[in-house]
Amino acid sequence: MKYKANRGRASTIPKPGQLKCHCGRPAVLRSAEGICKTHRPGAMVYVCSDYPACNSFVMAHSDTLAPMGSLAGPELRRLRYEAHQEFDRLYKTGLMTRNEAYRWLSYIVQAPMSHAHIGHLGEYYCRMVIRESRKLLSQKLGSEMALAKAAGGEYYAAAH
Ligand SMILES: [Zn+2]
C-alpha cells in the first residue's frame, strides 16, 4: 500500500481571529517582510497581533495561505527548524523514503499522518524528533551498508 505524504496543506484559511497565538491573542495575516528573514518574496506570515511585544508567528503556505502550523516564539521556532533539519536527513541520506519518514514521524509524535507535521509540534516533541532522528541515523548509517548487503536490510532495500 502506498502512503501519500501529506504536506500539511490545509485547504481552508482561518477566519480573522480564529487562529490564536499561544498568548491568547488573535493572529493576523501579513507580509513576512521585516518579520522573518528566511522568506521568499511575497511570503506571508500569521503573526501575533501583539507583535513585536509577543514575538510569535508561523509562515503561511504560499499557494493556499493556510498556516503551516501553530504560532511559535523564538525558542520553539529554533527547535522546529532543528527538528526539520534532522528529520529531513532521514530521507535525504536514503535511510528511508520520504513517505516512510513521514510515517515514522507520525508514529513518533503519536499523531495521524495528516497531523504529523513539525510545524504543529511543541518543544517536547521537537526535542524527541531531534533525538530519535539522530539515534536512527547513527544506528543505521554505520552498519546499514554492510548489513544490507548480507541480509537485505529493510530500509536500505526500500530506499534503493
Ligand atoms: Zn502572542
- pTM reported for the whole predicted model: 0.76
> Does residue 45 sit in helix, strand or coil?
strand
Lowest pLDDT segment from 76-85, 115-124, 132-141: 132-141
Residue 3 lies in a domain: no
Q: Do both 94 and 151 map to the same domain? A: yes
Chain-centre distance of CA 122, in angstroms?
A: 11
Chain-centre distance of CA 1, in angstroms?
A: 24
Model confidence pLDDT, tens digit, residues 45-92: 999 999 999 999 999 999 999 999 999 999 999 999 999 999 999 999
Q: Distance from the CA of 13 to the center of ligand 1, in angstroms?
A: 19
**Dihedral, CA of residue 94, residue 99, residue 100 and residue 104, to nearest 10:** 120
> Does residue 58 sit in helix, strand or coil?
strand
Residues with C-beta atoms within 5 A of ion ligand 1? 21, 23, 25, 48, 54, 56
Q: Distance from the CA of 24 to the center of ligand 1, in angstroms?
A: 6
Q: Do both 106 and 155 map to the same domain? A: yes
Helix (H) or strand (E) holding 46: strand 44-48
d(Cα 138, Cα 142) in Å, to the nearest integer?
A: 6
Q: Do both 58 and 122 map to the same domain? A: no
Domain hosting residue 100, numbered range: 75-159
Model confidence pLDDT, tens digit, residues 15-26: 766 899 999 999
Residue 62 near residue 9, CB atoms below 8 Å: no
The pLDDT of 78-107, averaged and rounded, is: 95
How many domains would you assign to the chain?
Answer: 2
Residue 45 lies in a domain: yes
Residue 6 lies in a domain: no
Q: Do both 45 and 107 map to the same domain? A: no
Q: Distance from the CA of 27 to the center of ligand 1, in angstroms?
A: 8
Cβ–Cβ contacts within 10 Å for residue 21, how many?
23
Rg from Cα positions in the chain? 18
